[in-house]
Amino acid sequence: MFIVNSYALAVLFCFITMLCWGSWANTQKLAAKSWRYELFYWDYVIGMVLFALLLAFTMGSIGSEGRPFLKDLAQMDASSFWSIILGGVIFNASNILLSASTSIAGLAVAFPLGVGISLVLGTIVNYIGAPKGDPVLLFIGIALIVVAIICNGIASGKVEKKKEGANKGILLAVLAGTLMAFFYRFVAKAMDLDNFANPAAGMVTPYTAIVIFSLGVLVSNFVFNTLVMRKPFVGEPVTYKQYFQGNFKTHLVGILGGAIWCLGTAFSYIASGRAGAAISYALGQGAPMIAAIWGVFIWKEFKGARKGVYGLLAVMFCLFIAGLAFIILSGN
């Protein structure tokens, strides 16, 4: 299988993670023109599972290092399996909340707030579970990003709320971020982060982890998303009949969104062996900056904002960049 052996390459993989995690929601925005997010989310999960399998049978099965996917899958023990499944279930609950928040409050608000909270809490959780890197530099970077999140919150508060239930969207983002902080640790616990080339018996490689994780998301989706379809946060209930009435192009947009997210997550898992779980997670969760860029410049979510809002957003971007720089330096 393909293994990252240099810190520089691990950082590059984490930046790809950040781009993917900050960009997949654009597919939700595209689908939202004619498609409720509850229906979009089914295609998103299907895309995640399909792309995880593609990675497992390509990058996870070629090369001379490590165990190939099927061999790794066969030796996985129950503890590793259920730990990853639990990570998938926690992620799915949080991501449904984040998707709901995005549909209500907008990309530039939901992501910096929800994923920003997840970044701070998740980095702490992952560092405690697998300490790696300079904690002083790491948490200086996190502190800068916290201030950036506050700037975004102030900026969003200055924008006239035109969407019904915008405050509910903000609350959902907070709940999503808090819950999302814990999923990565359960997955990392099942991987031998110190030796992907020859992992301990019962533990798994990143490629097996992303497949099992995606299946955990899929299975739990029959519970979580079905409930949200019947009792939506905003709007009328939707049905499975409506899902199957969607056209091919609409379904494809959702599948693309899941594939983009899955690529980012897989690269984060792959990089964690060299960079450590805390740094990989923290760098990837720089996604709010990417999402805010999309929201501000492409989707014009702050159009008509009050005076000073764009100055706050500029400060937010600068603080995010500085924070990410400290996180990178903490791993050297």
pLDDT given for residue 107 in this prediction? 63
* Residues 82, 62: Cα–Cα separation, whole Å: 26
Tokens representing residue 282 in the block? 């923290």
> In whole angstroms, what is the distance from residue 83 CA to residue 148 CA?
33
The token pair at 43 is 């295609």
Rounded CA separation 64/1 (Å): 7
What confidence tens digit (pLDDT) does each residue in 73-122 have?
A: 999 999 999 999 999 999 999 989 987 887 787 666 676 778 778 888 88
How high is the pLDDT of residue 309? 83
289 Cβ neighbours under 8 A, 6+ residues apart: 18, 22, 112, 148, 316, 317, 320, 321, 324
Question: Cβ(255)–Cβ(35) under 8 Å?
Answer: no
Other CB atoms within 10 Å distance of the CB of residue 32? 14
Confidence of residue 163 (pLDDT cuts 50, 70, 90): low
List Cα–Cα distances, 50 to 45, 183, 258, 273, 279, in angstroms.
9, 20, 9, 24, 27
> Which of the four pLDDT bands, split at 50, 70 and 90, describes residue 268?
very high
Name 151's Cβ contacts closer than 8 Å, sequence gap at least 6: 312, 313, 315, 316, 319
Residues 6+ apart with CB under 8 A from 327: 137, 138, 141, 142, 279, 282, 283
CA dihedral (124, 129, 130, 132) in degrees, to 10, reads 30
pLDDT-derived band of residue 164, with 50, 70 and 90 as boundaries? low
Q: What is the pLDDT of residue 170?
A: 83
Q: What would the pLDDT profile of 36-53 be if each residue is shown by its tens digit?
A: 989 999 999 999 999 999
Whether 158 has a pLDDT exceeding 80, the answer reads no
Confidence of residue 210 (pLDDT cuts 50, 70, 90): very high
Q: Residue 110: what pLDDT? A: 75
For the chain, which residues make up each domain, given as ranges?
A: 7-330
Split at pLDDT 50, 70, 90, the class of 328 is confident
Question: In the structure, what pLDDT confidence band is assigned to residue 24 with cuts at 50, 70 and 90?
Answer: confident
